[in-house]
Amino acid sequence: MEIIISGFVLGLMGSLHCAGMCGPIALSLPLYGKGAGTKAFGGVMYNVGRTITYGIMGAIFGMIGQGLSLVGFQQWVSVIMGALMIISVLIPSVFKNVNTGNIPIAGMVRKGIQKLFVKKSFGRLFFIGLLNGLLPCGLVYLAIAGAIGTGDVLTGTLFMILFGLGTLPMMLAISMLGNMVSIAIREKINKVIPVLVVIIGIIFILRGLSLGIPYLSPPEKKLNPQIHMEKVQEDASEAVKKSCCHAEDDD
């Protein structure tokens, strides 16, 4: 549960980063309708589209994490993903040469968004949000690392959905009222984001270490119940065999 909640907190605190990256799109959204309520609904449709894309990403990368957990790597995946989060903050130079702008799909997504801006409709706003969720973003990459670290399709999906919902208030406010937050306030809150990322990274590492700390670092049998069940089944099978052997000896 703590892992899932951390996705929402990451989105909520990181939404100012989203304001910088996706703010221009949110500010220029072709909101449909004349009344404030109608325009707000259009803004919600845009953000729901983004959140759905994040949820699909969570399912995909959660499935990758689950596949790794099935072969006994879940703990290592959780530790590695947590370590990468911390490294991205403490040693940012490791990732400084990664240029997300050169990702081929980014150009295609931007062109698709531009075409959808031509006409106003709730459907177009929804699809703008869907495509917007595919744009390269360092904060989203950190969230994806978290989804992998969950080692579960459902948990990874919920993690990313809550991440998207965490960004919704800020993005909706920007699309409705413009850039309300001053640069000074934005800079102060942006200083908190790295601290938050480190905390989430530590949570993932502790989770992977299975130290037996309730909720925070559960034992391995709770972290990977399937392996635990297999062990229980093996023990039960061995017990049945021993029981049969004793019965034959008695005969």
Q: What is the pLDDT along the chain (251 residues), one digit of tens a residue?
A: 667 788 898 888 887 766 666 767 777 788 877 788 888 898 899 999 999 999 999 999 999 988 887 766 767 778 888 888 888 888 776 555 555 555 667 788 888 988 998 888 899 999 999 999 888 787 888 889 889 888 889 999 999 999 999 999 888 888 877 655 566 766 676 677 788 888 888 888 887 777 666 655 556 555 454 444 444 455 555 655 555 555 555 55
Amino acid letter, residue 71: V
Taking the C-alpha atoms of residue 246 and residue 66, their distance in angstroms, rounded to an integer, is 41
Q: List the one residue out of 45, 42, 26 whose CA is nearest residue 175.
A: 26
Could you give the CA distance from residue 227 to residue 117 in angstroms, rounded to a whole number? 50
Tokens of 96: 């400084």
Residues 123 and 211 in one domain: yes
Q: Which residues pair with 217 in a beta bridge?
A: 213
Q: Name which of 12, 16, 13, 10 is nearest 184 in CA terms.
A: 16
pLDDT value at residue 227: 45
CA distance 165 to 181: 19
| Domain assignment of residue 241, given as a range | 219-251
Q: How far is CA 183 from CA 13, 169, 196, in A?
A: 15, 18, 20
Residues found in the chain: 251
Q: How many domains are there within the chain? A: 2
Shared-domain flag, residues 127 and 241: no
pLDDT given for residue 5 in this prediction:
84
184 and 247 housed in the same domain: no
Q: What's the pLDDT score for residue 246?
A: 53
The answer on 140 and 241 residing in a single domain is: no
Does residue 57 sit in the same domain as residue 158? Answer: yes
Q: Are 95 and 88 in contact (CB under 8 A)?
A: yes
Asked if residue 46 and residue 120 are part of one domain, the reply reads: yes
> How buried is 235 (Cβ within 10 angstroms: 0-12 exposed, 13-18 middle, 19+ buried)?
exposed
**Could you please report the per-residue DSSP string of 124-174?**
HHHHHHHHHTTS--HHHHHHHHHHHHHTSHHHHHHHHHHHHHHHHHHHHHH
Same structural domain for residues 238 and 205? Answer: no
* R_g of the chain computed on alpha carbons: 23
Decide: 149 and 81 in contact? Cβ < 8 Å. Answer: yes
pTM of the full predicted structure? 0.72
Q: Are residues 197 and 249 in the same domain?
A: no
